[in-house]
């Protein structure tokens, strides 16, 4: 143990942060600590309990991020008895685009008394979906001007991204926009807190803020066309200095050292995104191997040697996942979130009673009952749009649909139909890559779902018709961040010079894999054809009922959108 | 009390029978008794517990009907202390088409040891939906031959009706078809049990067996084209003697008098149907006033002076509701059934806990929460086809659909959306009548839902844009049967000579009515337009996904239909 070196990875997620302490040589996860955010997702009212939020809002409290550092890092060090001096590096990853306004001290405006009752002063979480009108405008102006960047994002900028959220702030709370010194990704803010240095990472710049290694940000003219006040948004509120993944930003500050128990000066890596750091942590460092990060939502990550235009992909960014490759990202904005919605909102009391008697949770009970059903047996079909559609339709205003209900429909049948729907969504994404000539030869999975729900994995294998290999780590993103922490430290300090070497030594797969079952595949072929038909009918403009229902809802709520 | 005369009405329903003892002069319901069928709806396995049923089957046990007579009539007499000699008449009504095979003694084949393990020996309940292939054939052959009767049934014969169920028996269990002496509506069977006389009623003959006062049954040629063995089905298994409503069949037999405590010879009226007897019991005896019988399903009854062809109506039968008028029937195969499905299968445990703490039932809790929502606020829209669609699409293979779900969707929002969907279904039916030039000037409601669920009634008023008046009686069908019992007795015995006189004296409305709220109506106009669009898309062949899902389900279940 005397010679071992360690790296810390911190994965700041939607409801919680997970921190791991990893042996740099072997990848062994020596200790893990989880912190559940006190404020969780703020989607009904601000923490003051008074300020109500409109539909589709989703905020976070940045105090929860600091609390996560303060809680988990000392827990790791205490539990493992590792000497802080043997911790050579620290990496972080975040959800994205998760962004906030800060003042010139780096303090989020929501922490200032004068701003804190304005919802726009808070962190807009990735799944904040209230900026759709702004996204529509961003897309419309880009199309009118023939902006080249659009194609890199599957032809559509998402309402989840940086400038949609920025423009919503400018439209609805210009005083907050003016009051802030900077607008910053939480991924970069946490690094700023750790090191005192503002260094913006390539990953969120590329995937969420339309930045490109060759072309930079969209032009001032484009931003001016969007909104006069945005002309100089990049220089006024962001930065043009963008740092590639694995860059060492600096060392842990004295204050942060005191807060966490780490040594002052411990190397800190530039910020990164949860889905992206998971790729090398799932052993994937070359093209053709799609990594699915399966948690509340599902991200699909793929490396390619060339830039290709894939329908509805979230983005293709040069060096965006690993240096030297084009990194493709696609995704589904609902996954485990949808199953969790179902468990919370639609499982009858007698099931809760049974789960209680047997001392298992409802997911386990439902999965057990649902796994006894054959594909097609329930007669149900769902569209997995409870949280909108990211790929391939890029439309947050779509909504979920369940079809085929009868008076005999049972809860476990609906649960299975929802899982199947998310698997169809993934298959639709794979199909889009293949149609754009980007190979998807193998599937890899990591995240919470593969750990917890074998039924989900078998259905994904059956629906996609592909074997699925699994990351060995239960905390793949945190492990990936620790790997990047080791890269930031560098080989001269016992770390690595590049992420590929780190992956070779620190990342592993499980022995268990999921193989498609031929009999199930045959039925799912038919059901997927039905899914596609509904997908196109509701998603491609033939019947925009979902959008109209959302407009009626907004009008009824009295919050008529600009 | 010494001079009062009484009539008994027995309403034999889906899950239970309700019996009332009514003062013939005033319509006062002196006593009520309910019997819940021991076997309820048999839809998974026969009472032997061994014989599994295929999807879409729904049977009843005729022993439950006899048990209902044996239990409720003595209860009424005991409770009210009325002398059986003062009971001048008895009327019955039934669900329909609810039919069974009997031997020459009138014994249902399911009561015979040699037949009882064959599902086809049992009573096929109205909502038995497994005869769709047979209904398809009935319609196809009728269209090919240009049969005039089709138009009287909205262009389509339902799988719920007599000859679809008959043909299914012949296809799947010819030995039962051959073994039976007669096929008979439960409505006529119960009268046979009471009086020893087989007298077939005009109502089920007209609405469920394609009989017409002028044209009689379909021709032998038509039946032969359907199936060679059916050529003489009417003469072999039914009867051409059809008796109008209110006809006295005979008197209570000695055995039945012993069983029930009634006097031997008490006048018994010819059989009738629950929805039809409810019309005069809701005070309606003239055209323009639509009566909605709202229970597990919803029936829409309307009188007219002329025969008109209305899309998807269940039927127009001369004298079918009241003598001298054309009786129009339309309906929705799901109503309270759908809400009950939701309560049983999709309400989370915490709601059950709250209902338990507050000592209210789940319907009451959900209605309370749902009534706080504004129309359109949930963003949800449903198609009310959990039990197929009766009018206007006449298609049992359609299924339920819920659209607009988000991660914030709550149980009470879905509950309200399901109620709204059934109201849209009713509005669609009203629209079909109006388009065929049959006036719907006023709405009247009776049945379980108006009694129990004011939210349902308000939503129906808002969606249809019409005031709704309510029958005073909580047991409108049973009251209607008692009224027909009084007609069977005749004025010479203290009863009435016709049903209009009986209605004038015995039927009443509640003071409370439901008025549409203009603000709600405006939103529902928009939502109904969306409902109609989906209704036509899924219901009129543009996307037959619901049918294909049912076919896939049937194939998976291994029960590939003939």
ipTM > 0.90, yes or no: no
Can you state the angle between helices B454-464 and B362-370, rounded to 10 degrees?
40
Q: Which of A378, A399, A410 sits opposite B406 (nearest CB)?
A: A399
CA distance B76 to B78: 5
Q: Which of B126, B379, B387, B555 to mutate to test the interface with A (most CBs of A within 10 A)?
A: B379
Q: Which of B348, B523, B557 sits opposite A346 (nearest CB)?
A: B348
Are B345 and A342 in contact by the 8 Å Cβ rule? The answer is: no
Q: Tell me whether B400 touches chain A (CB under 8 Å).
A: yes
Are A16 and A98 in contact by the 8 Å Cβ rule? The answer is: no
Read off the pLDDT of residues B292-308 as tens digits, 9 standing for 90 and up. Answer: 999 889 999 999 999 99
- This prediction has a pTM of 0.87
Q: Which pLDDT does position B55 carry in this prediction?
A: 87
CA distance A191 to A184: 11
Q: Tell me whether B201 touches chain A (CB under 8 Å).
A: no
Are B10 and B478 in contact by the 8 Å Cβ rule? The answer is: yes
Q: Do A352 and B349 touch (CB under 8 A)?
A: yes
Confidence of residue A2 (pLDDT cuts 50, 70, 90): low
562 residues of chain B, pLDDT tens digit each: 457 999 999 999 999 999 999 999 999 999 999 999 999 999 999 999 999 999 889 999 999 999 999 999 999 999 999 999 999 999 999 999 999 999 999 999 999 999 999 999 999 999 899 999 999 999 999 999 999 999 999 888 989 999 999 999 999 999 999 999 999 999 999 999 999 999 999 999 999 999 999 999 999 999 999 999 999 999 999 999 999 999 999 999 999 999 999 999 999 999 999 999 999 999 999 999 999 999 889 999 999 999 999 998 999 999 999 999 999 999 998 999 999 999 999 999 999 999 999 999 999 999 999 999 999 999 999 999 999 998 999 888 999 999 999 999 999 999 999 999 999 999 999 999 999 999 999 999 999 899 889 999 999 999 999 999 999 999 999 999 999 999 999 999 999 999 999 999 999 999 999 999 999 999 999 999 999 999 999 999 999 999 999 999 999 987 444 3
Q: Which of B187, B178, B182 is nearest to B206 (CA)?
A: B187
Q: Which pLDDT does position B200 carry in this prediction?
A: 98
* Cα atoms in the Cβ-side hemisphere of radius 13 Å centred on B204: 32
Q: Which of residues 38-67 of B touch A (CB under 8 A)?
A: 43, 55
Read off the pLDDT of residues B3-57 as tens digits, 9 standing for 90 and up. Answer: 799 999 999 999 999 999 999 999 999 999 999 999 999 999 999 999 999 988 9
Q: Which of B43, B378, B407 sits opposite A386 (nearest CB)?
A: B407
Residues of B in contact with A352 (CB under 8 A): 348-349, 352
φ and ψ at residue B483, rounded to 5 degrees = -60, -45
Q: Which of A407, A522, A526 to mutate to test the interface with B (most CBs of B within 10 A)?
A: A407
Are A7 and A488 in contact by the 8 Å Cβ rule? The answer is: no
Matching residue, tokens 């959302």: A550
Q: Which of residues 498-527 of A touch B (CB under 8 A)?
A: 523, 526-527
Instruction: Identify the H or E element spanning A5.
Output: none
A392 upstream amide cis, omega within 30 of 0:
yes
Name the DSSP class of A466: S
CA distance A253 to A268: 10
CA distance B344 to B338: 10
Q: Are strands B381-383 and B509-514 parallel, antiparallel or unpaired?
A: unpaired
Q: Do B527 and A406 touch (CB under 8 A)?
A: no
Q: Which residues make Cβ contacts (< 8 Å) with residue B254, sequence separation at least 6?
A: B264
Read off the pLDDT of residues A499-514 as tens digits, 9 standing for 90 and up. Answer: 999 999 999 999 999 9
Task: Calculate the average pLDDT of chain A.
Answer: 96
Q: What's the gap in Å between the CA of B48 and the closest CA on chain A?
A: 21
Q: Where are the alpha helices (DSSP H) in A261-318?
A: 274-281
Q: Are strands A29-36 and A16-23 parallel, antiparallel or unpaired?
A: antiparallel
């Amino acid at each position: 143990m005397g010679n071992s070196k360690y790296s810390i990875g911190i994965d700041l997620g939607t409801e919680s942060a997970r921190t791991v302490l990893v042996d740099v040589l072997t990848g062994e996860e020596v200790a893990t600590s989880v912190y559940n955010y006190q404020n969780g997702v703020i989607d009904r009212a601000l923490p003051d309990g008074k300020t109500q939020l409109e539909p589709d809002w989703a905020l976070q409290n940045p105090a929860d991020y600091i609390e996560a550092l303060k809680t988990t890092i000392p827990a790791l060090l205490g539990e493992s008895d590792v000497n802080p001096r043997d911790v050579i590096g620290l990496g972080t990853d975040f959800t994205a685009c998760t962004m906030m306004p800060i003042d010139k001290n780096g303090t989020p405006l929501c922490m200032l008394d004068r701003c804190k009752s304005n919802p726009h002063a808070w962190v807009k979480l990735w799944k904040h979906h209230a900026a759709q009108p702004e996204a529509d405008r961003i897309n419309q102006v880009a199309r009118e001007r023939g902006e080249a960047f659009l194609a890199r994002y599957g032809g559509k900028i998402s309402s989840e991204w940086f400038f949609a959220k920025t423009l919503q702030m400018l439209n609805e709370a210009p005083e907050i926009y003016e009051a802030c010194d900077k607008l910053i990704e939480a991924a970069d803010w946490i690094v700023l807190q750790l090191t005192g240095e503002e260094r913006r990472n390539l990953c969120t710049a590329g995937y969420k803020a339309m930045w490109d290694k060759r072309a930079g940000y969209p032009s001032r003219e484009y931003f001016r066309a969007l909104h006069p006040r945005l002309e100089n948004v990049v220089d006024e509120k962001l930065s043009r200095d963008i740092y590639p993944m694995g860059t060492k930003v600096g060392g842990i500050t004295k204050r942060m050292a005191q807060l966490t128990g780490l040594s002052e000066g411990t190397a800190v890596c530039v910020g990164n995104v949860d889905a992206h750091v998971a790729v090398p942590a799932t052993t994937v460092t070359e093209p053709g191997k799609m990594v699915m990060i399966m948690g509340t939502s599902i991200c699909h990550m793929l490396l390619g040697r060339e830039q290709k235009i894939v329908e509805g992909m979230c983005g293709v960014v040069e060096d965006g996942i690993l240096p030297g490759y084009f990194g493709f990202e696609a995704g589904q904005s609902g996954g485990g979130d949808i199953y969790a919605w179902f468990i919370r909102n639609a499982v009858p009391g007698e099931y809760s009673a049974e789960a209680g008697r047997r001392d298992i949770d409802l997911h386990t009970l439902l999965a057990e009952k649902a796994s006894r059903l054959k594909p097609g047996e329930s007669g149900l079909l769902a569209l997995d749009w409870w949280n909108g559609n990211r790929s391939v339709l890029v439309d947050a205003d779509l909504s979920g649909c369940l079809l085929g209900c009868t008076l005999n429909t049972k809860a476990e049948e609906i649960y299975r139909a929802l899982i199947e729907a998310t698997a169809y969504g993934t298959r639709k994404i794979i199909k889009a890559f293949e149609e754009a000539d980007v190979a998807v030869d193998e599937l890899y999975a990591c995240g919470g779902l593969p750990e917890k729900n074998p039924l989900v994995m078998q259905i994904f294998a059956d629906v996609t018709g592909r074997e699925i290999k699994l990351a060995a780590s239960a905390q793949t993103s945190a492990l990936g961040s620790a790997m990047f922490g080791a890269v930031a430290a560098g080989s001269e300090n016992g770390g690595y010079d590049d992420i590929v070497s780190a992956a070779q030594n620190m990342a592993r797969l499980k022995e268990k894999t999921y193989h498609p079952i031929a009999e199930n595949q045959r039925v799912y072929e038919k059901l997927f054809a039905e899914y596609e038909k509904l997908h196109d009918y509701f998603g491609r403009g033939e019947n925009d009922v979902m959008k109209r229902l959302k407009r009626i809802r907004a009008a009824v709520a009295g919050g008529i959108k600009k």
